[in-house]
Amino acid sequence: MGKKVTSVVILSFLLCVLGVGMVHAAHPFTIQSQSALLMEMSSGEILVDKDSEKPLPPASVTKMMVMLLAMEALESGKISLNDTVIASPEACRMGGSQIWLEPGEEMTVADLLKAIGIVSANDASYALAEYISGSHEEFVQLMNKRAQELGLKNTLYVNATGLQPDGGGQGNLTSAYDQAILARELLKYPAVLQWTGQWIDSLRGGESFLRNTNNLVRFYEGCDGLKTGYTSEAGYCLVATAQRNGVRLIAVVMKAPTSTVRNSEITKLFNYGFSQYKALKLVNSGQILGSTTAVKGTVKEVNLILPQDLTVVLKKDVQSKPEVQISYPPKVRAPLPQGTPVGEVLVLVDGEVKVKMDLVTATEVNECGFFRFFFQTAQNLIRGFFQ
């Protein structure tokens, strides 16, 4: 399929709706934490910023990168949730928050992710790192490589736990801005919320009790993740996400003086964001937005749809007219599994792209045999001759 766009449909929404505007205020209320940031998820727009690029130790917030690499390994098929991981003596020596793994103990990837997501278990994080990369050292290299790919300019990892290195020395460093970018990438895998958003769970057949270190999961409506952190060097850190009425926010505080302040300031950030923004649904998931010729397909054409609702998040105090632009090629080649991306849908507000989504095939299209393809080609040539 070529890159050239050969069909463009522009849908104009003539009804005036409330649009998006940049928020430049550093922080509209008092923030005690050394660094803080509030981001709207769909656009990446920053609503509140306090020293968000200041490098600080992240403590267990580190484990968001561990979870991202695990989800990417799951997506690629390198590992599976049912894989059995054997805990090494090194993993079992991790201090701080843990699930008390014993050397040689077996636990599935799913249970390790549960332990990481709910209780920030250092031993689980170390064991999963070893399983994915073969060694903890190799995994840390992978963490730093992925950080560079994501443009996390103030992030450096020396371990997969967030603990200060034994004997001192430089520990992990990151910034509130970097962690918001990382959270946005991690949320491309909504399955992580089944762990980070779980208030209470258990391991080992109910023998090991787990309670989420993120109290907002229980006490703030819509909060379903992501990661807390605490060490004496890092203070109290939290990267949190919450969704209400179609608006998803990412809030970060780093080096709060107490856990109470940490939770209070995340709550303030969320309240501010939800008071400023609303979500507008533009197109329903599954709605047919076009069709394209399926070359060598068992059918002549395949319909193109959106895999999920197309929604734009709009700032309440600015009026604008969003546009939806749909582009796809006139033909694609079979075979095409259902859900194959073949085009693109953009939402523009005041000429700026706010949402980008793949346009996908509504059904599977199998490749036809040689004789059927020959017959189709002949039909097309004859049809073209007489037109």
pLDDT tens digits along 188-234: 999 999 999 999 999 999 999 999 999 999 999 999 999 999 999 99
- Low-confidence winner among 102-106, 108-112, 218-222, 365-369 (lowest mean pLDDT): 365-369
What single string gives the DSSP state of each residue in 173-233? BB-HHHHHHHHHHHTTSGGGHHHHT-SEEEEGGGTEEEE-S-THHHHSTTEEEEEEEEETT
Preceding amide of 103 cis, omega within 30: no
List the beta bridge partners of residue 201. Answer: 210
> Which is more confident, 350 or 242?
242
Q: Which domains does the chain have, with CATH numbers?
A: 7-17+284-386 (2.60.410.10), 31-277 (3.40.710.10)
**For strand 235-244 and strand 331-333, is the pairing parallel, antiparallel, or unpaired?**
unpaired
Q: Within a 10 A sphere around the Cβ of 86, how many other Cβ atoms?
A: 14
113-136 residue pLDDT tens: 999 999 999 999 999 999 999 999
293-339 residue pLDDT tens: 999 889 989 999 999 888 888 888 767 789 999 999 999 999 999 99
Average pLDDT value for residue range 159-176? 93
**For residue 9, is pLDDT > 90?**
no
Distance CA 287, CA 362 (A): 9
84-96 residue pLDDT tens: 999 999 999 999 9
Q: How far is CA 175 from CA 37, 156, 180, 273, in A?
A: 10, 10, 9, 20
What pLDDT does residue 26 have? Answer: 57
> Which is more confident, 317 or 73?
73
pTM: 0.80
267-278 residue pLDDT tens: 999 999 999 888
Q: Which residues are catalytic?
A: 60, 63, 120
Q: Token pair for residue 132?
A: 């994915």
Alpha-helical (H) ranges within 62-175 are 63-76, 89-92, 109-119, 122-133, 136-149
Distance CA 5, CA 181 (A): 30
Residue 387: which pLDDT band, with cuts at 50, 70 and 90?
low
